[in-house]
Amino acid sequence: MERPYVICHMLSSLDGKIDGGYMSMPENVPVRGEYGRLREFFGCQATLYGTVTMQGSYSAGLAPESLPDQEKYPRKDYIAKSDVENYIISLDPQGILGWNAKYIEKKGRPKAHVVEVLTEQVSDAYLSYLQKFDISYLFAGKKTLDCALLLQKLKTSFGIKRLMIAGGGVTNWSFLQAGVLDELSLVISPVADGNTTSVSIFEWPDFLPVKPPVAFTLKEVKKLKGDGIWLRYTVKERGKAGYEQLYF
Ligand SMILES: NC(=O)c1ccc[n+]([C@@H]2O[C@H](COP(=O)([O-])OP(=O)(O)OC[C@H]3O[C@@H](n4cnc5c(N)ncnc54)[C@H](OP(=O)(O)O)[C@@H]3O)[C@@H](O)[C@H]2O)c1
């Protein structure tokens, strides 16, 4: 299958948490800066986020609750014209995110063209809402997300050769368990949180099938400013590691 090379790039506490109170600690600030700087290292044309992360940090919150009823829209991919070749890929299987433009411009980040990732269950009203802002959308699955199909479409429709997946935990696990994650880039901050409710680097939600754990091979370790560490791992091919036999 032709698809982009996929890197998961995350900032975590010493106890593997990707959100929570530690994020605003002064000791986390220099490491968070390093995390941002390293984003450039991978030369990715696109960054993908899950629905919760999009809603919290990138989209205009949620779409209005009552969108006007619409005639039937074909469940067909829509690719808007773009004046940039940098993309934010927004997982939104149910079509709930809010928008006011087809680009996202964040301080210190290149202007990015939004690509909404939907499943066929979205309403006609939501498709009409995306059309209103001329936002690109791709269908990847009927009711559940098909990660492999999505990657194939990102390559063929947008020419994306290198994709960064940057959270949250459910999204990271979705791509890892689907066997389409190539590399993990983990920046660790010298703080511990200890709480049991914060999101971890990988989170297994109820809606995904049971899969065995995944093993990695260490590629590089570097000390960062502010006592941070940067770990680079590649994903070990399943089967070769013997995990299926061990767990099933
Ligand atoms: N430290 C860091 O580097 C970093 C980076 C990014 C995010 N974060 C943090 O991570 C937290 C959010 O993580 P999260 O795990 O709760 O949420 P998330 O991964 O951002 O979003 C999860 C949602 O995305 C959709 N989704 C993802 N994979 C799917 C699949 N295979 N099939 C169908 N739907 C799928 C689902 O939306 P629906 O439920 O609508 O179907 C799911 O509930 C936030 O607190 C954020 O700040 C931290």
In this structure, what DSSP letter does residue 184 have?
E
* pLDDT tens column, 125-149: 999 999 999 999 999 999 989 999 9
Pairing of strands 228-235, 183-188: antiparallel
pTM given for the model: 0.95
Q: Whose CA is nearest to atom 48 of ligand 1?
A: 18
> Which residues, given as ranges, of the chain have pLDDT below 50?
241-248
Q: What pLDDT, on the 0 to 100 scale, is given for residue 237?
A: 78
Helices (H), 93-231: 124-132, 147-158, 169-177
The identity of residue 166, as a single letter, is A
Q: Which domains does the chain have, with CATH numbers?
A: 1-42+161-248 (3.40.430.10), 46-160 (no CATH)
Angle (CA) 248 199 151, round 5°: 65
Rounded CA-CA distance 32/78 in Å is: 35
Pocket residues: Cβ below 6 A from ligand 1: 10-11, 18-19, 49-53, 56, 91, 93-94, 96, 144-145, 166-171, 174, 199, 203, 208
Q: What pLDDT, on the 0 to 100 scale, is given for residue 240?
A: 54
Q: What pLDDT, on the 0 to 100 scale, is given for residue 243?
A: 46
In this structure, what DSSP letter does residue 206 have?
T
Length of the chain: 248
